[in-house]
Amino acid sequence: MAEAINTVVVGAGHAGLALSSCLAKNGIDHVVLERGDIAQRWRSERWDSLVFQFPNWSLQLPGYAYQGSNPDGYASKDEFIQFLETYASMMRAPVRRGTEVLSLSDSEDGRSMVLRTSQVIIHASNVVVATGPFQAPKIPAASRNLPPETFQIHARDYRNPAQLPSGAVLVVGSGASGTQIAEELHRSGRKVFLAVGRFHKTPRRYRGRDFYWWFEKLGYWHTPLTSMPPEAKSLRFVVTAVDGGHDVDLRQYAADGIVLAGRLKSVDRNEIEFHNDLETTLSEGDAWYAKFKRQMDAYAESCAPPLPREAPELTSPNSKNPKGVLKLNLEEEGISSVVWASGYACDFSWIKLPLFDANGDPIHMRGVTTRAGLFFLGLRRTYSIGSALVAGAVNDAAYIADRIAADRGC
């Protein structure tokens, strides 16, 4: 037996719940299908000490915002999950938990789409895929060349230092996951090696404001990518909210004892080789830092009154020049574990429609595909740099809900 529902949202994270609220506001009949529970990826695919990297005051969804007593603080993993749980309950979102979507295809007559789920078959006029950008772990093929006794784990499955066997650790990847995991392992007493990829040093706070505030005021979050300069489209900012938040300074990492290397080049059992690009990466990060600082200063001075100035020593890029290692011998260094913080790819293999490019990414314009009624929400850079974030997803959700309402003649 099959159901007929006007609109189906796949995924009950912040993007799916925001869209549900916008759809309800437009009077559109819909359900939200979730394979597990609200914010399932946060529950089952994040490490124990993860902290939401943006300030609590930025937690704003349609009709609801952070209600706690620490707006300038940062929510723990459990607190962020509870925020979404509270929102779903307050908005009475029609979430069907424990309902995994197994496939999405066109109906035989092409007049609807068919979702085969673990519970029921649904025919829908509109489907919005809001499963997020962090789906399938990306692990370099070189991982297969490591010795079988080397413990390997992706950041998705990492939970805490006790999970790893004793010994030194190589962390591959310097995004938010890689740097936070490297810090945690270092604080636990492990010897840590960190392979660094593209990295733009960004201040956690400057002149009394969180970097999130600065990105908002300077137009980074919501300006369409088509109107952004080319370098901004590939911006990879990294900040941390651990212990109240601080800058992620890779030069300081080296000074503190974390051994840095460039990008991973090759693996031959115990022998690992890295590209000789560490200093170039750090210098490019410092250049971005200096440019961003000039933009912040110009804005701060235009305020009435101007924002308080920082002490120079708090804002100058670290002058240390670490020499990145080019080769490592796992056995000689006592490295027993490798943590792959090498990112994620989208997995839309369950969608049986010709809507993807050669990389498997959906072809769309602000989430709108060429298949009438099919949309994507919450992906990175769907429309702006902030599209995968809470605030960015809210903007895109409202846009998609309005499109669905207009197509329906609401």
pLDDT values of the chain reduced to their tens digit, one per residue, 410 residues: 789 999 999 999 999 999 999 999 999 999 999 999 999 999 999 999 999 999 999 999 999 999 999 999 999 999 999 999 999 999 999 999 999 999 999 999 889 999 999 999 999 999 999 998 888 999 999 999 999 999 999 999 999 999 999 999 999 999 999 999 999 999 999 999 999 998 888 999 999 999 999 999 999 998 998 898 877 777 888 889 999 999 999 999 999 999 999 999 999 999 999 999 999 999 999 999 999 999 999 999 999 999 999 887 544 445 567 889 999 999 999 999 999 999 998 899 999 999 999 988 899 999 999 999 999 999 988 889 888 888 778 899 999 999 999 987 54
End-to-end Cα spacing for the chain: 29
What's the DSSP call for residue 378? S
Q: Where are the domains of the chain?
A: 2-135+346-408, 137-340
Dist. CA 179–CA 203, nearest whole Å? 15
Contact 122, 115 (CB under 8 A): yes
CATH topology of domain 2-135+346-408: FAD/NAD(P)-binding domain (3.50.50)
DSSP readout, 299-332?
Answer: HHHHSSSPPPPPPHHHHSPP---PPPBSEEEHHH
Residue-wise over 141-157: b if at least 16 C-beta within 10 A, else e?
A: eebeebeeebebbbbbe
Contact 239, 204 (CB under 8 A): yes
pTM of structure: 0.92
Contact 339, 155 (CB under 8 A): yes
